[in-house]
């Protein structure tokens, strides 16, 4: 019997499986499809996803298979959001153009290398849980039904999630009221750099998709945005949209596919129901603005994986285990609420072709050129600016943030190689605190990797000013910090309380 059943083998389900497997758990993935189609709605991987992969040492596989891009659009703004080492503070300060199908195949290859079991061609059709297990009824292509049982189950099976429906998760939001279009095609006159344009005809975006010589042209056309999803655009339609937007069609030909998509927006009211969880598109759906779909799913998986692994392996039990598992939903819903607002705002910008809305969008685009605003939004769109629940008034903004702008021994490699789904990192910059921190955290020593002043810790970025010590979670988020202005007599109790909430003493 597996420890965890995962339904769906998209990026979310695959990453969750890999994380759980690295914690020693047996994982089985149930996937309704047998083969994969290279035609991918998602064609981008944000810098935040690359950083997640870097913490497990596999990012180069994806970089080699994709095409780096160093700027991204917001609402098709001609003022693009600029990525740099200073802004993102990570090893690979760029996003990737890479079709989702390529991403999935790379993750499947790694999963098979690590002994994860797959059941392709099986659909979830029934579900039940009790106090100790979940039973999943599956149906094969030939109609034969069977059952699988495991202590835990996670639905990562997309916006039409069978798991979400079978387990009666509430999934609230709004139906789509407009549609966008896309075409992946070869071109005879490729643009020299990614294009994002907004004018009275709507929004137009074009860039290489990171697969062979194909380029993606996409956007919202004000004249056709009321058409249903069934009104799939033709190549001639795409050419017309391009000419209206930028005056040329780039010689688009031989389309890989064309498609239409909507701005349907939904969010599950809870990501957990007993021993069943939902993640990725099974938990949230929003307009594909800025390539945030894959990123949000991977962050769902990263957040859930270390918590579920700690509970499944008995590293935390009882009430604390329940609270830890519940925090998955609390934290990710908080992040998704802000991301959904961002995508809704971008949808409004896409369709702001007439006055006074056109002037409003022009003012917003001008504001994006301001360095501080550009930095703030590029961190959000690339997956580094997720909002985190505020537990008390005046909470330090570094708490819950993803770790960036931190190097050890002159680079990111030592930091990355020390991270694991079952390890916390304790970073101590002030030598006078090291002895106290080692002593008060000793009951959890087997769960912690220490780095002290002798490890040549360096930071860049104002968020680390005055930080003498920090505890970093397995998902590379800051769980606890100690600043030089804090009263030292409270040091031991402060870090001990945090660790006690996150894992049991050894």
Does a structural domain hold residue 394?
Answer: no
Does a structural domain hold residue 387?
Answer: no
Which of 241, 262, 283 is the last residue before a domain boundary? 262
Average pLDDT (183-196) is: 95
CATH number for the domain including 470?
3.40.30
Domain shared by 56 and 124, yes or no = yes
Strands of the 152-155 sheet, one edge to the other? 117-120, 27-31, 4-7, 152-155, 276-278, 272-273
Spatial separation of the C-alpha atoms in residues 333 and 201, rounded to whole Å: 35
The mean-pLDDT minimum among 5-14, 283-292, 375-384, 474-483 falls in 283-292
Residue 41's pLDDT is 82
**Encoded tokens for 185:** 């095609």
Residue 28's pLDDT is 98
Domain shared by 145 and 278, yes or no = yes
pLDDT at residue 277 tops 90: yes
Residue 89's pLDDT is 97
Average pLDDT (170-185) is: 95
Spatial separation of the C-alpha atoms in residues 252 and 185, rounded to whole Å: 6
Domain shared by 60 and 114, yes or no = yes
Residue 503's pLDDT is 87
Does a structural domain hold residue 390?
Answer: no
CATH number for the domain including 186?
3.30.70.2450
Does a structural domain hold residue 400?
Answer: no
- Percent of the chain predicted with pLDDT > 70: 100
Domain shared by 217 and 138, yes or no = no
pLDDT at residue 180 tops 90: yes
CATH number for the domain including 327?
3.50.50.60
Does a structural domain hold residue 317?
Answer: yes
For 441, the domain range is 406-502
Which of 262, 296, 313 is the last residue before a domain boundary? 262
Q: What are the C-alpha distances in Å from 47 to residues 13, 97, 111, 379?
A: 19, 11, 22, 9
- How confident is residue 394, by pLDDT bands cut at 50, 70 and 90? confident
pTM to 2 decimal places: 0.96
pLDDT at residue 274 tops 90: yes
Does a structural domain hold residue 397?
Answer: no
Domain shared by 421 and 365, yes or no = no
- How confident is residue 35, by pLDDT bands cut at 50, 70 and 90? confident
Residue 354's pLDDT is 81
Does a structural domain hold residue 398?
Answer: no
- How confident is residue 126, by pLDDT bands cut at 50, 70 and 90? very high
- How confident is residue 9, by pLDDT bands cut at 50, 70 and 90? very high
Domain shared by 289 and 359, yes or no = yes
Domain shared by 83 and 161, yes or no = yes
Residue 42's pLDDT is 87
Which of 245, 262, 279 is the last residue before a domain boundary? 262
**3-class DSSP string for 255-324:** EEEEEEEECCEEEECCCEECCEEECHHHCEECCCCCCCHHHHHHHHHHHHHHHHHHHHCCCCCHHHHHHH
Domain shared by 208 and 299, yes or no = no
Residue 459's pLDDT is 95
pLDDT digits (tens, 9 = 90+) for 205-224: 999 999 999 999 999 999 99
Domain shared by 157 and 299, yes or no = yes
- How confident is residue 273, by pLDDT bands cut at 50, 70 and 90? very high
Residue 474's pLDDT is 98
Does a structural domain hold residue 76?
Answer: yes
pLDDT digits (tens, 9 = 90+) for 316-366: 999 999 999 999 999 999 999 999 999 999 999 989 888 898 899 999 999
Domain shared by 249 and 280, yes or no = no
Mean pLDDT of the chain: 95
Number of domains composing the chain: 3
Domain shared by 416 and 304, yes or no = no
pLDDT digits (tens, 9 = 90+) for 408-438: 999 999 999 999 999 999 999 999 999 999 9
Domain shared by 215 and 325, yes or no = no
Average pLDDT (169-194) is: 95
Q: What are the C-alpha distances in Å from 292 to residues 22, 73, 74, 285, 316?
A: 26, 12, 11, 11, 32
């Amino acid at each position: 019997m597996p420890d965890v059943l995962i339904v769906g083998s998209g990026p979310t389900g695959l990453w969750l499986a890999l994380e759980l497997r690295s914690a020693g758990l047996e994982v089985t993935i149930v996937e309704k499809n047998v083969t994969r189609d290279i035609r991918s709605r998602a064609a981008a991987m944000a810098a935040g996803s690359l950083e997640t992969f870097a913490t497990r040492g596999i990012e180069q596989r994806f970089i080699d298979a994709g095409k780096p891009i160093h700027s991204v659009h917001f609402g098709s703004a001609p003022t693009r959001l600029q990525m740099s080492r200073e802004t993102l503070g990570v090893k690979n300060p760029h996003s990737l153009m890479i079709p989702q199908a390529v991403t999935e195949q790379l993750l499947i290859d790694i999963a098979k290398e690590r002994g994860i079991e797959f059941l392709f061609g099986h659909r979830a059709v029934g579900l039940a849980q009790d106090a100790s297990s979940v039973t999943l009824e599956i149906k094969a292509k030939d109609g034969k039904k069977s059952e699988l049982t495991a202590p835990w189950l996670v639905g990562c099976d997309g916006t039409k999630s069978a798991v979400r429906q079978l387990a009666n998760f509430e999934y609230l939001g709004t139906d789509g009221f407009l549609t966008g279009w896309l075409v992946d095609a070869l071109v005879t006159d490729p643009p020299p750099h990614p294009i994002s344009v907004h004018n009275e005809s709507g929004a137009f975006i074009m860039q290489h998709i990171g697969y062979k010589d194909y380029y993606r042209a996409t956007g919202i056309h004000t004249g056709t945005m009321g058409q249903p999803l069934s009104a799939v655009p033709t190549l001639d339609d795409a050419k017309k949209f391009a000419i209206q937007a930028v005056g040329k069609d780039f010689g688009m030909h031989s389309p890989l596919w064309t498609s239409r998509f909507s701005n349907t927006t939904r969010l599950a009211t809870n990501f957990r129901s007993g021993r069943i969880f939902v993640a990725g598109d099974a938990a949230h759906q929003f307009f594909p603005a800025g390539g945030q779909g894959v990123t949000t799913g991977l962050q769902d998986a990263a957040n859930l994986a270390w918590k579920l692994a700690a509970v499944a392996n008995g590293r935390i039990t009882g009430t604390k285990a329940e609270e830890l598992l519940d925090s998955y939903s609390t934290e990710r819903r908080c992040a998704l609420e802000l991301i959904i607002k961002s995508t809704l705002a971008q949808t409004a910008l896409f369709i702001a072709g007439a006055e006074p809305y056109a002037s409003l969008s022009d003012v917003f685009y001008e504001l994006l050129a301001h360095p501080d605003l550009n930095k703030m939004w590029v961190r959000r769109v690339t997956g580094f600016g997720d909002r985190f629940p505020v537990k008390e008034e005046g909470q330090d903004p570094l708490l819950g943030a993803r770790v960036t702008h931190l190097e050890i021994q002159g680079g990111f490699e030592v930091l990355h190689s020390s991270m694991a789904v079952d390890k916390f990192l304790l970073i101590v910059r002030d030598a006078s605190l090291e002895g106290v921190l080692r002593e008060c955290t000793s009951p959890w020593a087997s769960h912690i990797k220490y780095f002290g002043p002798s490890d040549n810790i360096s930071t860049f970025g104002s968020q680390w000013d005055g930080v003498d010590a920090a505890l970093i979670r397995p998902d590379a988020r800051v769980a606890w910090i100690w600043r030089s202005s804090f009263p030292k007599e409270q040091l031991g109790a402060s870090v001990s309380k945090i660790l006690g909430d996150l894992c049991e003493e050894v």
